[in-house]
Amino acid sequence: MTTTYSIGELAREFDVTTRTIRFYEDQGLLSPRRRGQTRIYSPADRTTLKLILRGKRLGFSLAESRDLIRMYRPASDNRQQLEALLERIADKRAQLERQLADIRVLQTELDDAEARTRQALTTL
Amino acid sequence: MTTTYSIGELAREFDVTTRTIRFYEDQGLLSPRRRGQTRIYSPADRTTLKLILRGKRLGFSLAESRDLIRMYRPASDNRQQLEALLERIADKRAQLERQLADIRVLQTELDDAEARTRQALTTL
DNA sequence: GGGGAAGTTTACGTTAACGTAAAGTACCTC
DNA sequence: GAGGTACTTTACGTTAACGTAAACTTCCCC
């Protein structure tokens, strides 16, 4: 009763090629079930793909996205590892803060650019 | 009396190599003055470099940054071009909005991840 | 049973964004 | 004037993230 997806369905939904999705699997970012040769994607796989593409829009490398995926799952019971994970999470958070600041600066620069452009238009 | 910078100074300040700065010039993103063979960078050049690096942190390609740089300068008196420019500015703005949304989603996901990790730590 | 349509593997090709190395010039200093 | 430091050009190398093509299987449909 749980929904599943074919590779083509996911490709269409997220506007990527099937090659891209298989490549992500090759890089260890996805590991869908198989029915014979054919890949069967679960809702969790779909969520992972969404996470990867969100990362891409923010300029993350696939290695960074792989890291993000691991953050999103415990996958360890080792104290050392869990504490290291907390640090990596904090680092990512700091990076996102920097990106936020960068976006805000760019937004005001676009404001300026637009104002000057409109000004140039009125003086024609 | 206006301050200038050598390529090495800029490289040190922004933690990039001189090769990178020359590459940006090669791609038409920078065009510093010359004294003989040597490149002399103005404060405006420095600002442009800052803009490029800010774009990089947000995952922009150099082509996108080149576009951004052009947005930031009028460089035209043609009505068509100015109106086209306004559209490109609006597009960029929309892209930044998407990135903002993506960051917010990732931030709450990091919140979740951290909470779960801390929980896993307490149950050791 | 002859096509499509959608899936598969394998493998070589491509582009962006530099890295790296070589070989030379300009200036400063001891 | 020998060496050091910072600059220059030229050119080949490298990595990430796929694109593209070929050759194959599976399933459905008429």
**All structural domains of chain B with their residue ranges:** 1-58, 74-124
Question: What's the average model confidence in pLDDT over A17-23?
Answer: 98
Domain A1-73 has CATH 1.10.1660.10: yes
Tokens 């676009």 belong to which residue?
Answer: A110
How far apart are the C-alpha atoms of A75 and A44, rounded to whole Å?
Answer: 15
How far apart are the C-alpha atoms of B55 and B89, rounded to whole Å?
Answer: 15
Question: What's the average model confidence in pLDDT over B26-30?
Answer: 97
Contact A92, B110 (CB under 8 A): yes
End-to-end CA gap in chain B:
65
Residues by CB within 7 A of strand D: list them. Answer: A 16-17, 19-20, 23, 27, 36-37, 56, 61-63; B 6-9, 11, 18-19, 22, 37-39
Residue A124's pLDDT is 83
Question: What's the average model confidence in pLDDT over B14-25?
Answer: 98
Residue A1's pLDDT is 60
Minimum-distance CB partner of A72 among B58, B86, B113: B113
Nearest-neighbour CA in chain A from B39: distance (Å): 27
Residue A21's pLDDT is 98
How far apart are the C-alpha atoms of A104 and A96, rounded to whole Å?
Answer: 12
Report residue B111 as tokens: 């919140």
Q: Indicate whether A73 pLDDT > 90.
A: no
Question: Per mean pLDDT, which range of A31-35, A53-57, A74-78, A81-85 is the poorest?
Answer: A74-78
Domain B1-58 has CATH 3.30.365.10: no
Q: How confident is the model at residue B1 (pLDDT cuts 50, 70, 90)?
A: low
Question: What's the average model confidence in pLDDT over A112-116?
Answer: 95
Residue A53's pLDDT is 98
Mutate to test the interface with B, among A56, A77, A117, A119 (most CBs of B within 10 A): A117
Phi first, then psi, for residue A35 (nearest 5°) are: -120, 100
